[in-house]
């Protein structure tokens, strides 16, 4: 896994639509698109279009409260659109020990199969 160097990530190119992605939901603040390496029948990533220092959740400050809430509301919209409201998981991998690989804050929305707990 890479570390947080504050530099641009692959998600900048996805936001700029310089590399293709399958967009599930988009508004002025967030973008939701299918994970290229899905870990469940539904696996969507929800990201802020403006990273604003949020390489990972460990950088969150009170000024980020609005976008953080917006991301969760978008997660619910994605779950509804994908038909998984009866059971879905929202995951944020934070830092190397949690296997974060892209340093642009993102929510994983996972569903469409029975989930296990603890996740491992």
Chain positions contacting ligand 5GP, by CB under 6 A: 10, 21, 33-37, 45, 93, 99-102
Residue 1 Cβ, how far from ligand 5GP at the closest point, in Å?
7
Catalytic residue among 56, 64, 106, 108: 106
**98, 53, 12, 117: which is closest to 108 by C-alpha?**
98
Q: Regarding beta strands 42-48 and 88-91, do their DSSP bridges make them parallel or antiparallel, or are they unpaired?
A: unpaired
What value, to the nearest 5°, has the Cα angle with vertex 91 and ends 87 and 96?
155
Residue 18 Cβ, how far from ligand 5GP at the closest point, in Å?
11
- CB-wise, 67 or 100, nearer to ligand 5GP? 100
**37, 29, 46: which is closest to 92 by C-alpha?**
46
Active site residue 106: yes
- CB-wise, 13 or 76, nearer to ligand 5GP? 13
Tell me how long the chain is.
120
- CB-wise, 21 or 62, nearer to ligand 5GP? 21
């Amino acid at each position: 896994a890479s570390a947080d160097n504050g530099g641009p990530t692959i998600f900048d190119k996805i936001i700029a639509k310089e590399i293709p992605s399958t967009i599930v939901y988009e508004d002025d603040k967030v973008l939701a698109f299918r994970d290229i390496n899905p870990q469940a029948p539904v696996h969507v990533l929800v990201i802020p279009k403006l990273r604003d220092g949020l390489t990972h959740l460990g950088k969150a400050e009170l000024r980020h409260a609005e976008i953080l809430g917006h991301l969760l509301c978008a997660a619910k919209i994605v779950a509804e659109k994908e038909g998984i409201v009866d059971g879905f998981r929202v995951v944020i991998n934070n830092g190397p020990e949690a296997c974060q690989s892209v340093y642009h804050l993102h929510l994983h929305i996972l569903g469409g199969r029975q989930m296990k707990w603890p996740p491992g």
